[in-house]
Amino acid sequence: MLRILLRIAAPRHRAFVPPMNKSVVTPFRQHDHDHDHCVDEALAQAEANCLRKGVRLTKIRRRVLELIWRRHEPVKAYDLLDRLKTEHRSAAPPTVYRALDFLLAEGLIHRIESLNAYVGCGDPSHPHLGQFLICQHCNAVAELNDPDISALLRRKSEQLGFQVNWQTIEINGVCPDCRSRQQGEQDRGLS
Ligand SMILES: [Zn+2]
Ligand SMILES: [Zn+2]
Ligand SMILES: [Zn+2]
């Protein structure tokens, strides 16, 4: 408990949010960064959020969140289950799905529909509708939360008499890593 309170009192800086662009919730993974710090930060934020809202981040919910944050890419439910089974022989699909439902409801993770997989959210303290950039080569995901985009879509939908209840935008493309790899291959081909 003491550890949680100390973390709230002295939040560390957010390693992966470029300061100049507030609409970036989670950028693409960066090389040479301290990923343990990302995971610690995500877990500390989750603990603080749950404490504030009076909901319980049980051991299993925390562990599932930790596994989702293990890498900066979406994780499928059955991969989580496989991993949990090595730790708890009694782990079954409902164990994982109940934990995922909780984490989704608390905004600690997002579901990437097109991949049927889950990613951690870099800003769970501000509920939002995400816009996701998904690399079609390596599945890396970055998350944006630009209220202008949401508002524009809502306005355009209303012009058609359509009421928007929920919007998550998934955009497919090529991430910076894969682009530079492609560029390198192209350059080598030309030389
Ligand atoms: Zn990281
Ligand atoms: Zn988010
Ligand atoms: Zn990629």
Specify the CATH number for the domain of residue 145.
Answer: 1.10.10.10
Q: Are 95 and 60 in contact (CB under 8 A)?
A: yes
Taking the centre of ligand 3 as the mean of its atom positions, its distance from the CA of residue 43, in whole angstroms, is: 26
pLDDT for 35 equals 87
Structure tokens at 102: 């909780």
Measured in Å, residue 185 CA sits from the centre of ligand 2 at 34
CA of 130 to the centre of ligand 2 (A): 6
pTM: 0.81
- The whole domain housing 11 covers 2-190
Count structural domains, the chain: 1
Predicted local confidence at residue 18, as pLDDT: 46
Give CB contacts under 8 A, 24+ apart, made by 90-97.
95/60, 96/64
**23-45 per-position pLDDT tens digit:** 888 888 877 788 899 899 999 99
Q: Calculate how far, in angstroms, residue 16's C-alpha sits from the geometric centre of ligand 3.
A: 18
Distance CA 89, CA 87 (A): 6
Residues of the chain scoring pLDDT < 70: 1-21, 190-191
Q: Which residues surround ligand 1, an ion (CB under 5 A)?
A: 35, 38
Identify whether the C-beta of residue 124 lies closer than 8 Å to the C-beta of residue 135: no
CA torsion angle for 73, 74, 79, 80 (degrees, to 10)? 100
